[in-house]
Amino acid sequence: MKEDSSGNNVILKVQGLKKYFPVRRGVLQRVIGWIMAVDGVDLELSGGKTLGLVGESGCGKSTLARLILKLVEPDAGNIFFRGEEITGLSRVEMKPYRRFMQIIFQDPFGSLNPRMTVGQSIEEGLRAVGVGSLEQRRRRVVELLEMVGIPALAAQRYPHEFSGGQRQRIGIARALSVDPELIICDEPVSALDVSIQAQILNLLRSLQEGLGLTYIFIAHDLHVVEYVSDNVAIMYLGHIMEYGPAEVVYSQHLHPYSSALLEAAPVPDPSAKRSWTPLAGDVPSPFNPPPGCKFQNRCPLVEDRCRKGEITLYEVNGAHRVRCWKVLGR
Amino acid sequence: MTPDPLLIVKDLKVYFDTDQGMAKAVDGVSFRVGQGETVCLVGESGCGKTVSALSILGLLPQPPAQIAGGKVFFKGRDLLELEQKDLREVRGREISMVFQEPMTSLNPVFTIGHQIEEVITTHEGVDQIESRQRIIRLLNDVGIASPEERMQDYPHNLSGGQRQRVMIAMALACSPELIIADEPTTALDVTIQAQILNLFKELQEDRGMAILQITHDLSVVAGVADRIYVMYAGIMVEEGSVWQIFREPCHPYTMGLLESLPGRRAKGQDLATIPGAVPDPANKPPGCPFHPRCRYVQESCRVQFPEMCDFSDRHLARCPIMYAKRKVQSA
Ligand SMILES: Nc1ncnc2c1ncn2[C@@H]1O[C@H](COP(=O)(O)OP(=O)(O)OP(=O)(O)O)[C@@H](O)[C@H]1O
Ligand SMILES: Nc1ncnc2c1ncn2[C@@H]1O[C@H](COP(=O)(O)OP(=O)(O)OP(=O)(O)O)[C@@H](O)[C@H]1O
Ligand code: SF4
Ligand SMILES: [Mg+2]
Ligand SMILES: [Mg+2]
């Protein structure tokens, strides 16, 4: 393990990562603009820790996840896994890294092969990384399914024969099967009721304690993110707006968007009915956004300066960072 | 105040013939949804919520599914008796559905604008200009930025939550009287979720639209439900108003569910769960299906299928043990 300046073991480092999707229109499919899905993201992740990633739907979380795993090619930036640069690696060159970096996809149906039983799907993954004999692999499949609360008999069934939440748990079992070091969990518990959700969160936590797994945890449920994360990054239109230790981001957040998001979190209590407050202003378009702060058209504090030049991610103290000059008075 | 029931589901049974035996995924489920009401269906993953919803609309392929019994009255007509052709009329004009997994119901080869347009034009004779305006308004209502641009996108160009919102826009396109929404806001952040829930509320107030919402998100349930039905292993175990369920849950499963909420536990501490796992629908225990996991279990629970007990005004739960306990307490 490489050590960074502060003595932490850095498992993943991402610098200046960008992904712009072209928008093509007309018969000639001419490019008429760009969607800036991920627009310059820096991250550093220590082994055995969890980074929570939250933000509005469409802000670029899944794209960032797919960039890190090299499922899409970045337009700019660098990715380092355990100190080694993997940015330019080809599919074949990535192969030895695959088993260490897994993803639990947001859409479990789309990520399972409909023509394979779930047992075959998981077993195939094990075979690809060369795990034991067929007999050993089958035993492992049963063990994995039971870990996520699916009866072993179900290994012989096809994806469509399961409920939404069962499929999601099959995706989790598959990601865990190859003993990865880093797992990107993209909405891993969104389809689960609270009791099974708790079971899965406890499982992820005990694996982290036992095996030192590192997670990037993407979720919309802010209570869940607070519970699982060591650090939290808040994204908005391809930018990280605020970053820091979970306690700090949750209780001393500074960015106006963080406030809008975190303070809108509904609570499971019928007497709190009035808490439905959408963000004011129109949802901004990711197409060719205006210069300056990406939050400008919805921000209650906006001033002229916010509309000029790029706003950088300022250091507040320790690891806490905020992309807003105004709240910091800088 | 009980609004006229728009939808009445009575003793619905849906089975699957599997290699492991007959899977009784839904085994006698009853509920009603009144005009302008929001009814929430909650319950553990795999308990039969989606299967119930899909069978109401005749959307489950038979076989493998078989409707083993029950009635589904919508405005007095039994939907289970309708021909496919008439059912298609009902779907998309009077009742529409938001599916749990958007990718399974969006067509990958058509633009989203095209798919919404199809819903609008098959049910109403509107011209192109009007239909385009309607599409833009719908996408705008569900919080999709630059709708004129985005309507030309294909499903794979969208994020998970954007696809979910396109599904909602499609479901609303025909101005339905009842919308059955299966986990409609699970992929949405809190601010957009709030926008969607407010939109639903407006449509209820303006047009009396009724909503049957399936969700495991108890914060959403607390905020929107008029009435809650709790399912477990293919049966209804409790029903009541939002206050009754949250403040005085009567069924041990409902109690366990409320105790599992995160936010009631500190970091690094295990979250509370209901021990054990949901039974496989092909292999359910005799007696009360919850008995292997229940902390109040008695001998009778292992053999006798429990009746629905009337706890208070329209608050029912399928647990005679708790019923007896509460009676003693209140006496
Ligand atoms: N293949 C693609 N082609 C064009 N645009 C894309 C593509 N994939 C994603 N986008 C766009 O990039 C933006 C970011 O999408 P992404 O899936 O990363 O969002 P997200 O944060 O995961 O959202 P959600 O919470 O809804 O899942 C969105 O505006 C989306 O429409
Ligand atoms: N085609 C099928 N063949 C066999 N069993 C099936 C089939 N479809 C569903 N089932 C089973 O029926 C049960 C109920 O499924 P359903 O999808 O209704 O659950 P759900 O309550 O919607 O759960 P979730 O919250 O996870 O979406 C599950 O145990 C599932 O495995
Ligand atoms: S930089 Fe300006 S617009 Fe952006 S969050 Fe701060 S005050 Fe608001
Ligand atoms: Mg996503
Ligand atoms: Mg379901």
- Is the pLDDT at B1 greater than 50, yes or no? no
Does residue A27 contact residue A83 with C-beta atoms inside 8 Å? no
Helices B190-207 & B160-172 angle (0-180, nearest 10): 0
Average pLDDT over residues B69-74: 92
Average pLDDT over residues A242-248: 94
Residue A245 CA to ligand 5 centre (angstroms): 35
Q: Which two tokens stand for residue A209?
A: 């304690």
Task: Give the distance between the most distant pair of CA atoms in chain A.
Answer: 67
Average pLDDT over residues B259-276: 71
To test the pocket of ligand 2, the residue of B16, B29, B229, B280 to mutate (highest count of ligand atoms within 8 Å of its CB) is: B16
Averaged confidence pLDDT in chain A: 87
Does residue B79 contact residue B57 with C-beta atoms inside 8 Å? yes
Average pLDDT over residues B155-181: 90
CA atoms within 13 A on the CB side of A75: 14
Residue A278 is predicted with a pLDDT of 64
Sheet order of strands, B95-98 included: B95-98, B178-182, B210-214, B38-43, B227-232, B235-241, B315-317, B309-312
Residue A279 CA to ligand 3 centre (angstroms): 14
Q: Report d(CA A94, CA B316) in Å as an integer.
A: 57
Q: Which two tokens stand for residue A236?
A: 């908005």
Residue A3 is predicted with a pLDDT of 43
Residue A63 CA to ligand 1 centre (angstroms): 6
Weakest mean pLDDT among A168-172, B181-185, B269-273: B269-273
- Is the pLDDT at A2 greater than 50, yes or no? no
Average pLDDT over residues B194-207: 86
Q: Nearest CA to B250 among B309, B322, B201?
A: B322
In chain B, which ranges are E strands? 5-18, 21-34, 38-43, 65-74, 77-78, 95-98, 178-182, 210-214, 227-232, 235-241, 309-312, 315-317
Give me the residues of B, 144-163, that contact A with CB < 8 A.
Answer: 144-146, 149, 152, 157-162
Is A78 exposed, middle or buried, given 0-12, 13-18 or 19+ CB atoms closer than 10 A?
Answer: middle
Give the rounded percent of residues in chain B with a pLDDT score beyond 70: 96
Average pLDDT over residues A12-24: 92
pLDDT digits (tens, 9 = 90+) for A203-231: 888 889 988 999 999 998 888 899 899 99
pLDDT digits (tens, 9 = 90+) for B104-127: 788 889 999 999 998 888 777 788
Decide if the complex's ipTM is over 0.85: no
Ranked by mean pLDDT, the top range of A288-292, B18-22, B166-170 is B166-170
Neighbours of ion ligand 5 (CB under 5 A): A 163-164; B 50, 100
Q: Which two tokens stand for residue B239?
A: 């029903």
Q: Would an 8 Å CB–CB cutoff place B272 in contact with chain A?
A: yes
Dihedral angle of Cα A124, A125, A126, A130, to the nearest 10 degrees: 90
The DSSP letter of residue A132 is S
Contacts of A54 in chain B (CB under 8 A): 189
- Is the pLDDT at A4 greater than 70, yes or no? no
Instruction: State if residue A58 touches ligand 1 by the CB under 6 angstroms criterion.
Output: yes
- How far apart, in Å, are the Cα atoms of A286 and each of A25, A213, A234, A300? 16, 34, 17, 20
